[in-house]
């Protein structure tokens, strides 16, 4: 059985981010044919096309080269002001440039949104999907991954509740099947 390398992006930089906790649980529950890891994006300088003409930003080059090695991506987004976080948008922008050399092209993706709100960052989820369509990334449609009231899903030791774990296991299993269709 072929193993697929999956880059996991977390759009929240907060140390105790619920998005990161859910991402870590997805990674823990992944089937054997997925090798998933969180790719840090907080250190990426803001994209500026003027600096991209002669590869003057080593962090961008390193990020692009690293992400090119992955077979797919799984993105987790909080909702900031009814949109995605700036750090996640910046990572998408850095990877999509220079024009015509996008590292995202054709990579199968999944989008999860996690929030303390019962609305589950649903607007950010759909906003992110719009960008992925433009980047030519086939996005898994079902199951939809909206996780609201995230502060209630973990016990005192940080262990996720059983029903959420069951849901996440189904999500990552379906994502593994999605990735196989495109690789």
Per-residue pLDDT tens, the chain, 183 aa: give them: 899 999 999 999 999 999 999 999 999 999 999 999 999 999 999 999 988 877 789 999 999 999 999 999 999 999 999 999 999 999 999 999 988 999 999 999 999 999 989 888 899 999 999 999 999 999 999 999 999 999 999 888 878 999 999 999 999 999 999 999 998
Q: Which residues contact 173 (CB under 8 A, 6 or more apart)?
A: 31
Judging by beta carbons within 10 Å of its beta carbon (0-12, 13-18, 19+), is residue 37 exposed, middle or buried? exposed
The pLDDT value given to residue 60: 96
d(CA 46, CA 44): 6
Q: CA 156 from chain center: how many Å?
A: 26
The pLDDT value given to residue 156: 83
- Helix runs in the chain, H state only: 18-29, 58-68, 86-96, 122-134, 162-182
- For 73, the enclosing helix (H) or strand (E) is strand 72-77
The pLDDT value given to residue 157: 82
d(CA 4, CA 50): 35
Q: Which residues contact 155 (CB under 8 A, 6 or more apart)?
A: 161
CATH classification code of 4-182:
3.40.50.360
Per-residue tokens: 153: 């899903």
Q: β-pairing, 109-114 with 72-77? A: parallel
The pLDDT value given to residue 135: 98
The reported pTM is 0.95
Per-residue tokens: 132: 């992925």
The pLDDT value given to residue 155: 86
The pLDDT value given to residue 118: 84
Per-residue tokens: 56: 């003057």
């Amino acid at each position: 059985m072929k193993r697929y390398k999956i880059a996991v992006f977390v759009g929240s930089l907060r140390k105790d981010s619920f998005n990161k906790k859910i991402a870590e649980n997805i990674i823990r529950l992944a089937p054997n044919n997925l090798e998933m890891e969180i790719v840090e994006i907080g250190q990426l300088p803001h994209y500026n096309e003027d600096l991209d003409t002669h590869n003057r930003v080593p962090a961008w080059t390193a990020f692009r080269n690293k992400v090119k090695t992955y077979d797919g991506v799984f993105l987790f987004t909080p909702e900031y002001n009814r949109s995605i976080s700036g750090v996640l948008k910046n990572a998408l922008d850095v990877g999509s440039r220079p024009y015509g050399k996008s590292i995202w092209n054709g990579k199968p993706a999944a989008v999860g949104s996690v929030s303390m709100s019962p609305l589950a960052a649903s607007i950010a989820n759909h906003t992110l999907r719009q960008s992925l369509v433009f980047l030519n990334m086939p996005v898994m449609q079902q199951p939809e991954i909206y996780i609201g009231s995230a502060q209630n899903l973990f016990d005192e030791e940080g262990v996720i509740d059983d029903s959420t774990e069951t849901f996440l296991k189904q999500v990552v299993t379906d994502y593994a099947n999605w990735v196989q269709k495109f690789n």
